Amino acid sequence: MPWQEICFFATYKGPSTPLLLSTSKHDRYYELASPQRIIRWRYQSRRAPQMTTQPELDQQAYDRWHQQLLGYIQARTNLPLVDLDSVPVPTGKR
């Protein structure tokens, strides 16, 4: 997806998971969206044992890399990272 087509950058908590692979029952999801496509990835505060990176990173280095990735995306798209969990949900009129 070309950078100039991205019109939305968001994060939100995923559904509760029965297995506590991370320090939270909810993993964070991130999305980049254009009018035609969505790129979504899940970030776990603790990497699952089956997850590997090249080069190998410990948890602290991985967390730092992910924060740098978010900053890079914001710089390239000139979009804020919107936390959808903090956006108020409008209530319907009765």
Predicted TM-score (pTM) of this structure: 0.77
pLDDT in tens, 5-30: 999 999 999 876 565 554 455 688 99
pLDDT of 55: 79
- List Cβ neighbours of 31 (8 Å cut-off, separation of 6 or more): 8, 9, 10, 11, 38, 39, 40
1/24 Cα distance (integer angstroms):
31
pLDDT of 47: 59
- The answer to whether the beta carbons of residues 13 and 28 sit under 8 Å apart is yes
User: Does position 83 have pLDDT exceeding 60, yes or no?
Assistant: yes
Phi-psi region of 14 (alpha: psi -120 to 50; beta: other; left: phi over 0): beta
Going along the chain from its start, the domains and CATH numbers come out as 3-16+25-44+58-83 (3.30.720)
* Burial class for 49, CB neighbours closer than 10 Å (0-12, 13-18, 19+): exposed
Q: Is the peptide bond before 55 cis (omega within 30 degrees of 0)?
A: yes
pLDDT in tens, 38-75: 999 988 766 566 667 677 888 888 889 999 999 999 99
Which of 16, 30, 18 is closest to 73 using CA atoms? Answer: 30
